[in-house]
Amino acid sequence: MKRFGFIIRYLWVLALVWLGGMTLLLTPREARVSTSENRMLAAAPELSFETISDGSFTDGTEEWLSDGIVLRDPLIGLSRAVETALRVPSDEDEEAMALIDAIEAEMNEAPAEPFAPSAAPQTEAPQATAEPQVTSAPQTAPAPTAEPTATETPQVNDAAFWLEFKDGKRQTVFEFPAANIVRAAEVLNAYRAVLPEDGNVVFLQVPVASMGNAFLNRIDRDPVWRSDLEDSLQRLVSDGVVIVKVGEAMNEPLKNGEYVYFRTDHHWTARGAYYAYRAAMETLGVPAAEYSDYTYFVRSGMRGNNAKNGAKSDTLEVMHELLPTKSYVVSHLTDSREIPFMDYDAAGYLAFIRGTQKPWRRFETGAKTGRTALLIGDSFSNAFLPYLLPHYDRVMMTDLRYTSYDPKDAGASVSEYIERYGVDDVYFVLCLATSINSEFFTGGQVVRYLH
Amino acid sequence: MVFSSLSFLLLFLPLLLALYFVGRGLKWRNAVLLLFSLLFYAWGEPKWILCMLGATIVNYAAAFGIDRAKSVRTKRLFLALGVIATLGALFWFKYASFFFTTVFSLFGAKSPVSEVRLPIGISFYTFQILTYAVDVYRGKVPVQKNFARLLLYVSCFPQLIAGPIVQYADIAAQLDDRTATMTDFSEGFGRFSVGLAKKVLLANLCGKTVELLLPEGVALSVAGAWLSGLMYTFQIYFDFSAYSDMAIGLGRVFGFTYRENFRYPYISDSVSEFWRRWHISLGSFFRDYVYIPLGGNRNGAWKTVRNLLIVWILTGLWHGASWNFVAWGLYYGLLILLERFVLARALPRIPKVIRILVTFFFAMTGWILFYHTSLSAGFGHLLALFGVGVQGTDAGVKEVLSKYTVLPLIAAVCSLPIVPAAKAWAEKRPARKTALNIAVPIFETALFVLSLAFLVGQSYNPFIYFRF
């Protein structure tokens, strides 16, 4: 029996030798994109006296091994399965999962062939030369659609996001319990409270690509997205908080067969982000730039993180900035490191502003509008941000999710960043999964990291 | 380098094992082990290797002087030189900033000494090398003439960075003569896998919950204060004891036998017992090299009190240079004095379960002081346990209980001596023993694979759009 134990442990060592050897042999030395993680995987570190003495070689080796180890996917799958087993799924989780599964199933039944670009893809275009026709963001927000009073709390009902058909029938896709709406309003009001008097909080809740497919799969029934969430929320928030109806803004483009969502990825395209931006500007009462004011780098053959074997690939359009923009990664409130604005070499959605870069980003535009914005979002905000730039001298950006944010690196609370950089307006651009119905937004990091 | 890293598991360890076992002579093996130990230490910040070499050279020379000296006075002089130089380095790196800041702040002035970076493992190897010089002075061990062997004792990678603090007397013979059998290899790796699993599967996950429960600048709730205290209590135990398990296991693979450093401290029924089960090698060091030389308990009650308080303040300071650690050390010193001089007769009359729970509570409150970087934050947390000025619960508690629902239970169970109990049960019947001998390696293999998966998974930054 002792021999059995020895053989087993001896096999471990052989397995480690095999894993280490294969990893050294097979893992690429250069950095590369992980489409499933929406980030760059580490390159092998450079070996030099400097990198050894400052410790960057050893840190880099660990990162490179971790990102490139042979059998990485099954090992990660195993760890995720165990972590999932540690938790007891709530009813909320199960409902959300059932919903997503249902949408995904529908998407698979009728492949999304309507997703074709409305115009033939352009070739790589040069930087825009024409003067953009945009104005700065408003000094004050327009009046909400309904008037809250200071003394009485409006009655709040559950709200929903649904597809409405020509025959009058409707299919609810998301429901928002009243309690979540109230909590979301409190969050938005808390952010409004730390802004200057003429500041705005602009909230955009973004439908994901599978919902665009759900729409297109019922195109013969003449569907439209409807939602009573935005009006419910607007009734509860303070002056200066603006709720944008992003879902409804997608109706016409979807009906017209415009290319607003990727076919092989859950994100929106630049065009989809543009329609959300235009809806936000309309709600704010500010003239928006035209989609055609921008020039776009175009690359075909994109295969996003939902790509299935045999599925038709996507065409990636990435805008060039309208005004010369400098982009920085910011940490510890004031430490800045300049990085390129976009990554036109990236094969997928990571191209937009080079993906999420922890913990903060800063974009200097030279727009001379006298205003600064803060964009708090998930990865959907990456394609949205470039459209915002011409309206602000400076745009700060952060993604507060645990995987994208480390409060120690940030070194200060969100409100301290707001104060330090003189933020006037805050935009929330979050997909449906990370906003009203998520703990992340209504009780988690978005709330905790404010002060 | 740390054991729970892919660099160690995939590159360092396989290469070391291959080179170590390819040669049969002790000289070869010691040379390989020394070379790899120095590489292990240098991985990350190579410059600190000079500090460790310096401490070894000083004590090597001091011990030589002690050995050659004819008079006790000269021996004392050599010992004093060695101790002062070694502790002086420790003081400079670990305590100078704290000391000068405290002294200068008394006069409203700014300290001229800025923060000094701490060489990794200095608290451990300083104490180890001191045991050598002191024991040579006491005549307990012969002087080690072979410098490489002394350096191997100090730098031997399994215990170099985080202990256990191995006394020279315990290991001297093994430096000169040891064998690593098939059983040593097998059981050593088994122990290593258990330690790795404790670190990666339990300590790290408990750590995640603590981060969720104690974000900076956010007010605590009562539930948050209790849950974070509890999870940190488990985290620190699994983290530290895991390292000791891995060190003891790896030591055994290479033929060394280290003493146990933890013996299920959370089943202790008194604070005194807790410290006989927690970080045993540190307790032994302070007992053998501070408490007993001060007179221990042989000179009356007052001197015993004095000696205990000195030992516990030093124990606190050993863990870190701040008033929090001083308070933490004093806290234990006072509890142990209370047990010894006030409650000695009353305690045995209390049911054992109650005593264990109370001891656990005192350990937890101690760890709360230990966790926070300022005394005010520590005391604020303690007050929050009893609901002083805080809400009942908070979002962090909800998040932890939904994301890590079963973890507190698993952590609690794993901190109990279930494995020794199972082994004792199996030893009673040959059939059980056979079954256990088959089951244990398989179970440890599962733990090993899972630990590797979690190590890789820590770098994973998923974008699963419906779950973030």
> Could you tell me if A203 and A241 are in contact, meaning their C-beta atoms sit under 8 angstroms apart?
yes
Tokens 């794993």 belong to which residue? B414
Interface check for A91 against chain B (CB to CB < 8 A): the answer is no
Question: Which residues of chain B lie closer than 8 angstroms to A61, CB-CB?
Answer: 7
Tokens of A87: 């938790």
Min Cα–Cα distance to chain A from B229, Å = 20
Candidates A428, A425, A444, A320; CA nearest to A376 is A428
The pLDDT of residue A173 is: 76
Better pLDDT: A130 or B22: B22
Candidates B28, B180, B174, B55; CA nearest to B119 is B55
How far from B452 is each of A7, A75, A91, CA to CA, in Å?
19, 7, 32
Contact B186 A97 (CB under 8 A): no
The pLDDT of residue B217 is: 61
CB pairs under 8 A between A and B: 177
Question: Which residues of chain A lie closer than 8 angstroms to B45, CB-CB?
Answer: 55
Confidence check: pLDDT of B168 > 50: yes
pLDDT in tens, B97-138: 888 888 888 888 888 877 778 888 888 999 999 999 999 999
pLDDT band at A92 (very low <50, low <70, confident <90, very high): very low
Task: Read off the pLDDT of each residue in A67-86 and give the average, rounded to a whole number.
Answer: 79
Confidence check: pLDDT of B461 > 50: no
Identity of the residue in B189, B457, B466 whose CB atom sits nearest the CB atom of A96 = B466
Got the DSSP string for B82-150? HHHHHHHHHIIIIIHHHHHHHHHHHTT---S----PPPTTHHHHHHHHHHHHHHHHHTSS-----HHHH
The pLDDT of residue B20 is: 93
Optimal mutation site among A67, A86, A349, interface B, most CBs of chain B within 10 A = A86
Closest-approach residue (CA) in chain B for A208:
B465
pLDDT in tens, A373-421: 999 998 899 999 999 999 999 999 998 876 678 778 888 889 999 999 9
ipTM for this prediction: 0.79
User: pTM (2 decimals)?
Assistant: 0.66
Contact B438 A1 (CB under 8 A): yes
Q: Is A29 exposed, middle or buried (0-12, 13-18, 19+ CB in 10 A)?
A: exposed
**Residues 6+ positions from A243 with CB-CB distance below 8 Å:** A203, A230, A231, A233, A234, A237, A283
The pLDDT of residue A172 is: 78
Q: Which residues pair with B260 in a beta bridge?
A: none
**Residues 6+ positions from B186 with CB-CB distance below 8 Å:** A2, A5, A6, A8, A9, B441
DSSP class of residue B221? B
Question: Which residues of chain A lie closer than 8 angstroms to B183, CB-CB?
Answer: 2, 6
Query: Of B157-171, B248-262, B422-436, B446-460, where does the model show the most confidence?
Result: B248-262
> Could you tell me if A105 and A361 are in contact, meaning their C-beta atoms sit under 8 angstroms apart?
no
Contact A69 B218 (CB under 8 A): no
Domain segments of chain A as ranges: 125-448
Identity of the residue in A4, A76, A451 whose CB atom sits nearest the CB atom of B438 = A4
Alpha carbon distance B236, B233 (integer Å) = 6
pLDDT band at A148 (very low <50, low <70, confident <90, very high): very low
Name the average pLDDT for chain B. 88
Alpha carbon distance B420, A327 (integer Å) = 58
Better pLDDT: A128 or B59: B59
The pLDDT of residue A424 is: 94
Alpha carbon distance A17, A10 (integer Å) = 11
Single-letter residue type at B417: P
Candidates A416, A410, A440; CA nearest to A428 is A440
Task: Read off the pLDDT of each residue in A207-214 and give the average, rounded to a whole number.
Answer: 79
* N-term to C-term CA, chain B: 32
pLDDT band at A201 (very low <50, low <70, confident <90, very high): very high
> How many alpha carbons lie under 13 Å from residue B447 in its C-beta half-sphere?
22
Domain segments of chain B as ranges: 6-178, 184-414, 418-457
pLDDT in tens, A93-102: 444 444 455 5
Task: Read off the pLDDT of each residue in A14-43 and give the average, rounded to a whole number.
Answer: 75
Classified as helix, coil or strand, A95 is helix
Confidence check: pLDDT of B445 > 70: yes
Q: Which residues of B are catalytic?
A: 319
Alpha carbon distance A206, A268 (integer Å) = 9
List the alpha helices (DSSP H) in A2-139: 2-26, 49-53, 56-68, 72-86, 91-109
Alpha carbon distance B338, B168 (integer Å) = 34
Candidates B202, B208, B189, B298; CA nearest to B246 is B189
